Amino acid sequence: AGYGSLLTYAFLVTAGIEEGSKFLILRIFRKRIGPPSEGATAGIAASLGFAFFETAVYASSNPLIALLRAATAAPIHAACGVWIGRAAQAPRLLSARTILGFIPALAVHGAYDLTLFVTGFPMIVPVLIAAASVVFIVGVITAPPEPVE
3-state secondary structure (DSSP) of residue 4: helix
The string of pLDDT tens digits covering residues 86-112 is 999 988 888 988 998 899 999 999 999
Task: Mark out the alpha helices in the chain (DSSP H runs).
Answer: 3-7, 16-28, 30-33, 36-61, 63-88, 96-117, 124-142
How much is the pTM? 0.84
Separation of alpha carbons 50 and 147, rounded Å: 29
DSSP structure string for 92-112: SSSSHHHHHHHHHHHHHHHHH
pLDDT band at 28 (very low <50, low <70, confident <90, very high): very high
Indicate the pLDDT class of residue 22, thresholds 50, 70 and 90.
very high
